[in-house]
Structure 1
Amino acid sequence: MPVLPGAEPYRHEGGETGVLLCHGFTGSPQSLRPWAEYLAERGLTVSLPLLPGHGTRWQDMQITGWQDWYAEVDRELRLLLDRCSRVFVFGLSMGGALALRLAAKHGDEISGLVLVNPANKVHGLSAYALPVARHLVRTTKGLVSDIAKEGSTEVGYDRVPLHAAHSVRNFFRLVDRELPQVTQPVLLLHSPQDHVVPPADTARVLSRISSTDVEEILLEQSYHVATLDHDAERIFEKSHTFVGRLAPSVGKKGNTTGG
């Protein structure tokens, strides 16, 4: 199945510090591509994988679940750990939950996390109906392009397969139980006006992780997909500063060739 234009995975061979970026549920690497390129231009080694079942058509997602999505980012992380001396994990929405589970499982191998509007729960009454509804209804309305900036759009699905939604609900529950195992430095950026992930998710993540080095930043001008919104440059700059603080060699000129 051909990948949607812009939804392709992205990799860049840079210096000794690596960053793994995890996109969100029903989204694609397109939502994080400008962030990935920003980091690559500053000499970092970057991996931005396409999660299984994403970036093609929603029917392909119907046969995947959280185990498939997590396995993909776990594999990419291991490749970066083999290649780099320090590795950071960044995530948007469900990608934030993927990043948190990687942190819980890999411990000190991960040097830090940057989370943008991380999801922690499937909300609404519909969440309770999912175990039954997924056998009766195939899809529901999509979640993409919650962006305040005019003309900015997200490449993703306009339908959500309910089997996949049920799987992500189970995944969030699993990650929530594992949050106390997260001890790495965390930079968490979130939008007060988010129509996909409510502020309660961010508050719960912050209250349950065991990290002591935590910075929280409000993205007042952006909605959910803040990486494509008015605050995008701020996210990029803050995340680069965060990495530079924890991996001082990042400030030095690295190899910025490749793509």
Structure 2
Amino acid sequence: MNSAEIDLGEGDAGFVLGDGPVGILLIHGLTGTPTELRQVAKGLAKAGNCTVYVPTLAGHCGDNSDLQATGWRDWYEGVRKTFVQIKRRHAQVFVGGLSMGAVMSMYVASEHPGQVAGLLMYSTTLKYDGWSINKMAFITPLLIRIPFGVRLFRFTEKPPYGIKNERLRAIVERQMKEGESSEAGLLTMEGVTVRELHWMNAVVKKRMPRINVPALVLHSIEDDITSRWNADYVERHLGGPVTKILLDNCYHMITVDLQYRRVIELSAAFIERHTSAAGCGSVFAEQGFCGGQGCSGEQRGFGVQGCSGEQRGFGVQGCSGEQRGCDVQGSSGEQACPALGGEAAPKPAIAV
């Protein structure tokens, strides 16, 4: 695909895959790189009649001085340019991202009401509260309010680096320690950068009740960086219908870890459900992904036709899919119990 007319950010790490009528914009995480989304982008481009765009955020794929010279509005400005250009090519555009990129996708939707077909939110990071995070991290919001407080701390990645796959983890660790930031991202994040994330999150949280875009929220129950609280918060506060699915057997980097194929499968199903007949739909159905109109529950791979939406993984205690992250390892799609086969769960009342 000729991407000459699409701004993919600084350097040459950004990429475009596929050549279809429906556009998908994926945003990488803070200190991360487009590489962390390549597997999912390849899977979606192969599965459906879509084009996937993954730009590089401002200040990324360099060193810490490059990142510290930028703020969250710089990161967004690059994404905004890419989104506007994608909209000129595609009538329907889905936006998503990993970690901070998931939060950024909500901001894109809030800035462009009625223009985003759906959100693909992977390991949403509204706060660092995973099991590998320093227990003193709770004072971070206080430090960033104190003059020079941001210079008193830095966030340093440590094992398992968001990756349960031991072989992949070893490769990423070597790349980070050898300074291959364009592939593995940065090993450390300075306080000024953490402050930018907090500022962006505060803005997005205020806007969430007014973002009425359908969202797929995927999060690991074993996330070492951000606990499931983050996914639960999105489910409670986002204004549009939310399909939340908890995954097992992976850590924070769900787009590259042991369940990345599941992430592709669930994302393809979600896109199918929220795409018009002129878009990806028929191709996804032919590939065997769920969500095609007229497909039986068994064909959709997400529960037996006739079971209720609650039984298909919409957060009811006792549903094996919900307890197992809607991904029982080793089981077929029909044996698992994910949420995409029925109507979205009703939104709770939100006090604004």
TM-score, normalised by the number of residues in structure 2: 0.66
For 1:53 and 1:70, locate their aligned partners in 2 and report how far apart those are by CA, in whole Å. Answer: 11
Q: CA deviation at 1:222?
A: 0.9
The answer (yes or no) to whether the contact 1:146–1:225 under 8 Å persists in 2 is yes
Instruction: String of CA shifts for 1:120-151, please: whole Å, max 9, x gaps.
Output: 13552133212445553474313783111111
Q: What amino acid is aligned across from residue 141 of structure 1 in structure 2? A: T
Distance in 2, matches of 1:30 and 1:145, equals 15
107 and 160 in structure 1: CA distance in 2 versus 1, 3 angstrom threshold: same
Aligned counterpart for 2:164 among listed residues 148, 153, 156: 148
Partner of 1:257: none
**Is 1:193 aligned to residue 208 of structure 2?**
no
SS of residue in 2 equivalent to 1:107? coil
CA contact (8 A) 1:26 1:54 kept: yes
Comparing 36-45 and 108-117, the one that deviates more:
36-45
1:75-123 superposed Cα distances (whole Å, 9 cap, x missing partner): 1111111100100011111001000111122122100011111111355
C-alpha contact (below 8 Å) 1:101/1:175 kept by paired residues = yes
Aligned 8 A contact 2:151 2:191 in 1: no
Asked if 1 retains the 8 angstrom alpha-carbon contact of 2:23 and 2:50, the reply is yes
Counterpart among 198, 207, 211 of residue 169 in structure 1? 198
1:124-163 to 2 correspondence within 5 Å? 124-132=138-146, 133-134=148-149, 136-137=151-152, 139-142=154-157, 145-153=161-169, 154=172, 155-163=184-192
Shifted more, 60-69 versus 191-200: the winner is 191-200
Q: Which residue is equivalent to 2:294?
A: none
Query: 2:280 maps to which residue?
Result: 250
Q: 4+ residue runs of structure 1 moved beyond 3 angstroms?
A: 131-140, 251-254
5+ residue gaps, structure 1, are: 255-259
- The 1:14/1:150 distance shift into structure 2, 3 A limit, reads same
Distance 1:34 1:13 in 2: 13
Q: Does 1:21 align with 2:21?
A: no
Which of 20, 33, 38 pairs up with 1:33? 38
Letter in 2 for 1:28: T
Contact 1:61 1:161 in 2 (8 A): no
Greater shift in the superposed pair: 14-23 or 34-43: 34-43
Aligned length: 249
Coordinate RMSD, CA, aligned: 2.1
Identity of aligned residues (%): 28
Counterpart position of 1:205: 234
Residue type of the alignment partner of 1:208: H
Larger Rg: 2
Contact 1:139–1:159 under 8 Å retained in 2: yes
- After superposition, residues 207-246 of structure 1 pair within 5 angstroms as 207-212=236-241, 214-246=242-274
SS in 2 for 1:115: strand
Q: Is the 8 A contact 1:142 1:158 kept in 2?
A: yes
3-state SS of the aligned residue for 2:23?
Answer: strand
User: CA distance change for structure 1 residues 138 and 215 in 2, over 3 Å: closer, same or farther?
Assistant: closer
Q: Is the 8 A contact 1:19 1:89 kept in 2?
A: yes
Change (3 A) 1:45 1:134: farther
Which moved further from structure 2: 139-148 or 47-56? 139-148
Q: Could you state the TM-score of these two structures normalised by the residue count of structure 1?
A: 0.89
Equivalent residues in 2 for 1:29-178, closer than 5 Å: 29-41=34-46, 42-121=48-127, 124-132=138-146, 133-134=148-149, 136-137=151-152, 139-142=154-157, 145-153=161-169, 154=172, 155-178=184-207
SS of 2:280's partner is helix
Where does structure 2 lack aligned partners over 5 or more consecutive residues?
1-9, 129-136, 173-183, 285-352
Task: Answer whether contact 1:134 1:166 (CA < 8 A) is retained.
Answer: no
